Structure 1
Amino acid sequence: MATPVPLPHPPQIPAADPEALRAALPAALREEFDAEWVQVLDRAKQSHSLREIHDLLSKWQHTAAMEIRDPGSYQRLLEKAAQIEAAGGRSTAVSIEDMRALIQQRLQAG
């Protein structure tokens, strides 16, 4: 009988905590996080709401997890978005109405 091969451990996802996220991010992204963090804290002081802080931490938690799994993926995502924007948008994009019609078709066929 063959010896089972152990599965690799999934990468640890950092907590949605500023200190943990900073530690998990590469230096270039840490600078971007810090700049956004300062802006969101200033807005939270004015609004007396923590919602934007939670949203920012969630966004960067996903970004950090993506970078841990595939280093450089965030930069590649930004580059792809810039290419799409420079080309005037996605040429293969489907309107929301067409997408809803397609979903409805599939549900009825189902």
Structure 2
Amino acid sequence: MTAEPYEPVIARTPDQIVESLNGDRSPRNIRACLPPADRGHFDKDYRQAMAKATEELDLSPVNDLLAHWCHIARMKATGEYEEVMEQAARVQEQIESGEYVQGRPLREVLAERAAALGVKLDL
């Protein structure tokens, strides 16, 4: 007989998730703020970053990963992630059809959004 790990289901509003992430950026809290479908990806990435940090004696990969996943959790909670992905799909279709796509460089937009959220990105 095998048992699945128990994870209590706590329904939180997007505002509660954002507030939680503002106050606690620990791996455990970031993981709890992610939708269940993303937690396996987080676990895999976190384990890889920890292994790299152990090998190189450098926590930078772990800190970078936590900043990334904190940003993803916040965007998914507020619905911004879906908006960004939909916009990206529209732009990709325009590019593939040969249309001119006017806009700002992606790095600039991401840096601006990250700064607004208080997240440091190395682009």
TM-score category by the smaller chain?
0.5 to 0.7
How has the CA–CA distance of structure 1 residues 38 and 83 changed in structure 2, closer, same or farther, with 3 Å as cutoff? farther
Task: Report the TM-score when normalising by structure 1.
Answer: 0.58
Aligned length: 84
Identity of aligned residues (%): 29
Read off the aligned partner of 2:81 and give its amino acid letter: Y
Distance 1:85 1:29 in 2: 24
C-alpha contact 1:16 1:61 (8 A) present in aligned 2: yes
**RMSD of Structure 2 on Structure 1 (CA):** 2.6
- Of 46, 53, 56, the residue aligned with 1:37 is 46
- Of 21, 26, 46, the residue aligned with 2:30 is 21
C-alpha contact 1:41 1:53 (8 A) present in aligned 2: yes
Task: Report the TM-score when normalising by structure 2.
Answer: 0.53
- Of 93, 99, 107, the residue aligned with 2:103 is 93
How has the CA–CA distance of structure 1 residues 83 and 44 changed in structure 2, closer, same or farther, with 3 Å as cutoff? farther
Deviation, structure 1 residue 22 = 1.1
Counterpart in 2 of 1:5?
none
Q: Unaligned stretches of 5+ in structure 2?
A: 1-14, 106-123
Higher normalized contact order (CA 8 Å, seq sep 6+, divided by chain length): 1
Read off the aligned partner of 1:92 and give its amino acid letter: Q
Distance 1:73 1:45 in 2: 34
Distance 1:39 1:82 in 2: 29
Secondary structure in 1 matching 2:102: coil
C-alpha contact 2:53 2:62 (8 A) present in aligned 1: yes
The answer to whether residue 88 in structure 2 is matched with residue 81 in structure 1 is: yes
Read off the aligned partner of 2:66 and give its amino acid letter: L
